[in-house]
Chain A
Amino acid sequence: MNIAFRQGAREGFLHYLPLSVGLIPWALVTGVAMRGAGFSVLEAMGMNCIVFAGTAQLGTLPLIVIGAPMWMILATALALNLRFVIFSAAIAPAFEGVSRWRRILSGYLLTDGVFATCSPRMLASTDKDWRLGYYLGPSIWCWLLWQVVTLIGVLGSSVLPTNWSLDFMASIALMVLLVPIVASRPMLVAALAAGATAVTLHDLPLKLGLIAAIFVGIAAGFVGERWIADDSTKDVAL
């Protein structure tokens, strides 16, 4: 753990810290839901440690409760997590030169929030130790916060207020990430196309609408990029 790693870890942690607030309602909701499904404290925290994915945990709970076939649990969790293949491919160049075990640990810790917050600066940096620190600092914080707050949800599932709409804080956290990204026009096109698709296809099972929306958004951004570039060259010509 050299100086560059530690400096990266501190910068990444500070960058991610305010946004990690959005995890709190998610973790509470997940903890309460696992207790509601009839898990013991050990089972709930076991799932929380080995799966470590709010969407996949909440998405498979109803199937586990009814004793659904294993393939259905596997397929549902896969559909919910397909987006991580895209994130993993996008962030992979930043792990060049990192040892295999640290890459496996980094894969286990990959979350939407840390990816969105940290991948741009990681990909721009040339120092591999700084990059790893900048990723692992916020990721380990995210893991600890997730475990502790879920445990609070598991232990206090009967006393938390349900009518405060606290789950909306998770959406606010995602919006805060979105604001600086959509400053460029192709990014805005990608976001609007993806959002409109997700709203239109929200009835599809297994959150497949979300996956379709991500693909539509990426395609729209790519098309928008060329289209807007063409437009500006025309302006210059005039």
Chain B
Amino acid sequence: MSESVMHSGWWLWLAFFLAALATHIPRGSFIVAGSRAKLPAGLQRALRYAPAAALAALVMPDVLLISGELQIANPKLLATIAVFVVATRWRNAWLPFIAGMAVLWLFKF
């Protein structure tokens, strides 16, 4: 490992504390404020799309970008197709992992 200028002791724990604040204030915001802070009904309805949007936004760059470049023909996309086919056809929860990793390894090596 190269020499780092990382501080130690209290500096490091302060950094952890700040990262924790920046995590738990967003997480707790509406759960803790509860019924005193209500979002408008329209916004609440729009938020139903948040999980689909967030999941796709996390997955698609990982599948379509190879070291930062758009690459349609790649083993990860083939593995993704396998995962979607298996997950749509069968209810078994472990099968998508087995199929996805098998296709990835098959086309990678």
Contacts and interface: CB of A to CB of B under 8 A. Distances in A.
B49 A221 contact: yes
B73 interface: no
A145 interface: no
A89 B39 contact: yes
A213 B57 contact: yes
Contact of A88 (B4, B11, B22, B31): B31
B59 A165 contact: no
Given A67-B6, A187-B49, A56 B23 contact: yes
Contacts of A187: 49, 52
B52 A194 contact: yes
Interface stretch (A43-51, A146-154, A229-237): A43-51
Interface in A70-85: 70, 73-74, 77-78, 80-85
A220 B56 CA distance: 13
A50 B17 contact: yes
B18 to A, nearest CB: 5
B52 A196 contact: no
Interface string A46-73: 1100111100110010001111001001
B89 to A, nearest CB: 10
A31 interface: no
A219 B57 CA distance: 14
Interface in B2-43: 4-7, 11-24, 26-35, 39, 43
B46 A222 contact: yes
Contact of A222 (B26, B29, B45, B62): B45
7 contacts: A21-B97, A87-B51, A89-B47, A168-B100, A168-B101, A171-B80, A174-B58
Interface of A: 17-19, 21-22, 36-39, 43, 46-47, 50-53, 56-57, 60, 64-67, 70, 73-74, 77-78, 80-93, 95-96, 100, 103-104, 106-108, 110, 112, 115-116, 119, 164-165, 168-169, 171-179, 181-182, 186-188, 190-199, 202-203, 210, 213-222
Given A83-B50, A168-B101, A213-B57, 18 more contacts: A21-B97, A43-B16, A51-B16, A78-B22, A81-B26, A84-B23, A84-B29, A91-B30, A168-B100, A191-B55, A195-B56, A196-B60, A199-B60, A213-B53, A216-B53, A218-B47, A220-B49, A221-B46
